[in-house]
Structure 1
Amino acid sequence: MKYLSKHVATWLIRCGAIDEMDRELYEYAVYSLIFLIAPLAIILTFGIMMDRVLESIIIIIPFMCVRKFSGGFHAKHVWVCILCSCSVLFMCVYMVTNIKYIFVLNICVVLAVTSLIILSPIDSESRKLDEGEIVRYKKVTAAISLVFGGLYCVCLLTDNITYAICIAEGIMLPACLQIPCILLKLKSKEKLGESYN
């Protein structure tokens, strides 16, 4: 991904579209664009294969909207990220057609929305957030999570169970991706406490 970002930025410089001084900015922009498009392309591929295109879109929209501001776990290597993303998104599309709505799903959605509101944002090692961004991202994550939580309720009330399950998955995914980061922070605090003793 980084190689592709650098290659595109170099091509833009050679074409005279951007200045060399702006290289880093455009590399980051291309990198962000790839990460924005990749989950959509992956899940649409699975949606087409399983004849669940609309469901795939309904899963990925809440995920992408929330994930952009909530943060969470990022794999260190691109191939690990792609492999894990493919596996998780395949399971999401597969589960839509194979799980039934149960009351436990309501509890999971409430827990996911609550944890997203409380724990967000989690910044990554590659891009640390400043104080202003943290406050803004927290508010945006809370608003988006509540909107999709509301849409989940509307789908349940209108008996659109399949779409409710899709939205539930889209909300729970970014919440689940925060868990490894929280566990790592707790582990590092624990080690820090041990070193003081």
Structure 2
Amino acid sequence: MIKLMSSKVACFLCKDEERKDNYELYEYAVYIILSSVFHIATIIVLGLCFNLLVESLVLYFSYIAIRKFAGGYHAKTPARCYLCSLLISIIILSAIKLFCCTNIYILTLLIVIEILCVILISRIAPLDSDNNPLNSKEKKYYRKVSRVISTALLCISIITIRLNYIKVGVSIMLGIFMSAGVLLARYVQNVINRY
């Protein structure tokens, strides 16, 4: 559906003779914009359904901030990507809704896991994909940025928990967990593909 809409918008934008050479570029740009809007709209709807709008947005943007620079596993089709993202978001929002508590031992355990995830991200990021190979200069830059973002989010999550905004802090943590999870999945996939 998004592909069809992207094609129609690109056709409209390329009506002029001088723009016809840019059709594929316009189609891709519109596709990326529409996909992003669709994902954000889904996150907003899920947040409203779970009565966790702020937490769902914090989770999504924490995850995307790291993923943009760290990379990670990619589903084979956009539909699979969307369905996996939807399922994971539902599971995580359910966990926030049902299990978010003020137990100091559980929060301490989550912080320890979060620190381990940040170390993992720092060690193996970035991982490029077949569609987006990175040169050595880009890898060095993306590694620095992913380390800074994941470390900053770690600090922000701890601060928000200390300020008693526990659900927001846990949402940031879970965004880091998701980023580390897709990064680790891509790393394992790369190892398997080598053999």
Q: TM-score range by the shorter chain?
A: 0.7 to 0.9
CA contact 2:54–2:168 (8 Å) conserved in 1:
no
1:100 Cα shift?
A: 3.5
Question: Percent identity between the aligned chains?
Answer: 26
Between the aligned partners of 2:126 and 2:54, the Cα distance in structure 1 is: 29
Q: Does residue 186 of structure 1 match 2:195? A: no
Structure 1 counterpart of 2:28: 28
Between the aligned partners of 1:136 and 1:171, the Cα distance in structure 2 is: 20
Q: Does residue 167 of structure 1 match 2:168? A: no
> SS of the residue aligned with 1:183?
helix
> SS of the residue aligned with 2:14?
helix
Between the aligned partners of 2:52 and 2:172, the Cα distance in structure 1 is: 14
1:36 Cα shift?
A: 2.8
1:149 Cα shift?
A: 0.7
1:4 Cα shift?
A: 3.9
Structure 2 counterpart of 1:158: 163
Find 2:147's aligned residue among 119, 142, 148: 142
Structure 2 counterpart of 1:8: 9
Structure 1 counterpart of 2:88: 88
- Count of aligned positions: 189
CA deviation string 1:84-141 (max 9, x = no partner): 1110111121111111351221122111111112211111211212222212211111
Q: Which amino acid aligns with 1:92?
A: I
> SS of the residue aligned with 2:127?
coil
CA contact 2:50–2:97 (8 Å) conserved in 1:
no
Structure 1 segments unaligned to the other structure (5+ residues): 192-197
Structure 2 counterpart of 1:58: 58
Between the aligned partners of 1:89 and 1:66, the Cα distance in structure 2 is: 16
TM-score (norm 2): 0.87
Structure 2 counterpart of 1:177: 182
Structure 1 residues 134, 36: closer, same or farther in 2, change over 3 A? farther
CA contact 1:42–1:89 (8 Å) conserved in 2:
no
Kindly report the root-mean-square deviation, in angstroms, between the aligned alpha carbons of the 2 structures.
1.9
Between the aligned partners of 1:136 and 1:159, the Cα distance in structure 2 is: 35
Between the aligned partners of 2:98 and 2:78, the Cα distance in structure 1 is: 30
